[in-house]
Amino acid sequence: MTVQEGFLLQTISKVLTPDGRYLTHLGGKGPGEFLSIFKLQIMRDQLYVYDENQLKESIFTLHPLALDNTITLAGNRVNYPSLKGSFPFIEKLYVRNNNTYLAEFLSSVISRNMHNPQKLPKKWQNYDTKGMFYLLNKDGDISSKKLFDFKNDTRIRLSNRFAGGLPLYYFFGVSWTVLSSKNNIYQAEPENFLIKVYSPHGASLHTFYYPHTKLLLTKKSASQYGLPDKFISEMKFMNLPKYWPVLVNMKIDDQNRLWVATTVQNMKVYQWWVLNPNGNLIARFTWPRDKYIKAIKNGYVYAMEKNKKGLTHFVRYKLKFKPS
């Protein structure tokens, strides 16, 4: 629930039991206050809350639920020349099993040339954002050189008057990253079913690939996807890819199994692949796009859905694999 407070938005997060009963809430005024909640993550007996707007991580104990510590993130970034011109916030933050962090910073022609309008993309021009991974220590300071970089997404410049662009995830897709319980990094880009595996310190370990039929990106398929007509009418101004993204989501469960969602001909569903940590196929199934899988844990799939009244809620599904 989000409430207006002065000129800032304070975010209050409700805490529920596994069966959906209300326990308490986090955030609001005072210690542990959030301006935004960008990511929640539980590691052992602690809850980590990333506030992108304030570049801080609040750490709560679970038993009892109480604020333990708040740290500022990447306060020493000025010491890293490769981060000059990157976005001011951390795009993605992952808690590692030793209570340190993996942080993704973004860089683009926009962020690098904020004060040089001649070098900015023109209206309707595409540009890529680059993701860069660094390790942070327990105190939130950057503690490593850049592990590796990759293309995070493609964006379209909408106006020459504004610095930002629109990330069209529908059309271009976005990269996905998950961490195993051993801190190995699984990273994938949307164009192909190709997953790269890195060690906790960024050394390349191996890759695995599955061939996948690509679907043509057309106005008809965009309409079948459910995009508004007004949005579809503007596609003629955009330099769009020929195909829809192949890989559209990637999760990892508490057994280190990878869950990978891919596009199929039916624009109302995704095909999910369940893989073991080495990339071997365990199961495949189709799942409605409007039932967004948020987490897989303790033998359950947790999905975010809308009920008949249009209200968003979470539904828990029992996980069971049929023997092959």
Q: Read out DSSP for 219-272?
A: HHHHHHHT--HHHHHGGGGS---SB--SEEEEEE-TT--EEEEEE-SSTTEEEE
The residue from 167, 192, 210 where one domain ends is: 167
Longest dimension (CA), the chain: 60
Q: Which two tokens stand for residue 215?
A: 């679907």
Position 1 scores a pLDDT of 25
Position 299 scores a pLDDT of 92
Position 23 scores a pLDDT of 61
Residues 321 and 218 in one domain: yes
Residues 67 and 79 in one domain: no
**What is the mean pLDDT for each group of 10 consecutive residues in the chain (324 residues)?**
30 58 58 68 88 88 85 95 91 95 94 84 89 97 96 81 60 96 97 98 96 95 88 88 96 97 95 96 95 93 89 88 70
Residues 310 and 196 in one domain: yes
Residues 66 and 77 in one domain: no
Position 2 scores a pLDDT of 27
pTM to 2 decimal places: 0.87
Count of Cβ atoms closer than 10 Å to residue 324 Cβ: 6
Parent domain of 95: 73-167
Residues 220 and 317 in one domain: yes
Residues 297 and 153 in one domain: no
Residues 111 and 156 in one domain: yes
Residues 238 and 152 in one domain: no
Residues 309 and 232 in one domain: yes
Indicate the number of domains in the chain: 3
The residue from 136, 167, 198 where one domain ends is: 167
Residues 184 and 300 in one domain: yes
Residues 288 and 261 in one domain: yes
Position 202 scores a pLDDT of 97
Position 10 scores a pLDDT of 41
Position 11 scores a pLDDT of 47
